[in-house]
């Protein structure tokens, strides 16, 4: 069984990548298993300056997932490059994907510039679900024109492929995808979290300190598959699928929908061995459905 995937000129040993925000900077998991089995790693969201993140509590459990509102907590791009990535390099041999967030075009552009010189980083994933300060608070990821402008400016300075991570909290996901493609995006990843909320019956107050957060986990899988399908069939750039994936069979389903690679998110928080288990189970799942080469099934669902 051949699990190798070619993506943006780089060959991945398999399509499994821990999603940004659910795997830290990767090296923490090396105490549990050999993380070199991973196709790649999407690093924790990184901003220009250090961020403490949102006030506690930040997590609320749900019947089919969880809500989080971490608020881009990270040590800032300089420390990520000088400290976090070198730690990862000691235990992981392959190239990784940096994930960049920000509240203004300037923040995104300057952070991407810094990653240009980081040899360990193969590509940069833009999290465009952050509020846009310059646009009066609207998130970059919910308005096609705003997203286009951001990606266009980032592409002018980027020396690495740019993957744009799309928010599902939009009326027309295809319009968003076409906008970032037109701006020069090299690939698209989706979906980011849905917006959710839980309320404490004891206090009557929201469980999350900032009231709402990103809902992820198995409950969003059907939404993710639908959006991956719609986007992959309406753009001419590759797609990375994510959202609620918990096992090897769902990886195949994502790839049928049109995903070239598949990111595993919230399942890592439930089962820290999730990525390892999925990679180990892929060959048998492929055999069960008479799949010899994973690349052959990308976009099989028409």
Which residues does residue 7 pair with via DSSP β-bridges, in sequence order?
10
Burial of 281 (C-beta count, 10 Å sphere; 0-12/13-18/19+): middle
List the catalytic residue out of 22, 62, 118, 130.
Answer: 130
258: left (phi over 0), alpha (psi -120 to 50) or beta: left
- Is 118 one of the annotated active-site residues of the chain? no
Nearest to 118 by CA among 82, 76, 71: 82
Quick one: DSSP state of residue 77? H
**Helix axis angle, 105-115 to 144-157, nearest 10°:** 30
Nearest to 111 by CA among 126, 132, 122, 96: 126
Contact 94, 38 (CB under 8 A): yes
**Assigned token pair, 165:** 């991570």
**Assigned token pair, 103:** 């509240």
Catalytic residues: 130
């Amino acid at each position: 069984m051949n699990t190798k995937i070619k993506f943006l000129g780089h060959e991945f040993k398999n399509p499994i990548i821990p999603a940004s925000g659910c795997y830290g900077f990767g090296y923490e998991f090396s105490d549990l298993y050999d993380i070199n089995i991973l196709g790649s790693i999407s690093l924790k969201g990184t901003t220009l300056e250090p961020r403490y993140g949102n006030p506690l509590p930040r997590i609320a459990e749900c019947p089919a997932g969880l809500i989080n509102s971490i608020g881009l907590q990270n040590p800032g791009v300089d420390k990520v490059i000088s400290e976090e990535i070198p730690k990862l390099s000691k235990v992981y041999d392959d190239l990784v994907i940096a994930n960049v967030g920000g509240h203004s075009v300037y923040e995104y552009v300057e952070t991407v510039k810094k990653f240009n010189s980081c040899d360990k980083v193969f590509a940069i994933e833009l999290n465009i679900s952050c509020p846009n300060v310059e646009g009066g608070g609207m998130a970059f990821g919910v308005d096609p024109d705003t997203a286009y402008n951001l990606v266009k400016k980032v592409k002018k300075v980027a020396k690495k492929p740019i993957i744009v991570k799309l928010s599902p909290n939009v009326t027309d996901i295809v319009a968003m995808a076409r906008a970032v493609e037109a701006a020069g995006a090299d690939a698209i990843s989706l979906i980011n979290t849905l917006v959710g909320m839980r309320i404490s019956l004891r206090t009557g107050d929201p469980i999350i300190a900032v009231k709402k957060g990103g809902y992820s986990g198995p409950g969003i899988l059907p939404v993710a598959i639908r959006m991956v399908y719609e986007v992959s069939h309406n753009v001419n750039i590759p797609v990375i699928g994510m959202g609620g994936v918990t096992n090897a069979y769902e990886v195949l389903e994502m790839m049928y929908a049109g995903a070239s690679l598949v990111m595993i998110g919230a399942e890592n928080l439930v089962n820290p061995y999730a990525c390892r288990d999925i990679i180990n189970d892929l060959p048998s799942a492929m055999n069960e459905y008479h799949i010899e080469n994973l690349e052959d099934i990308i976009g099989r669902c028409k």
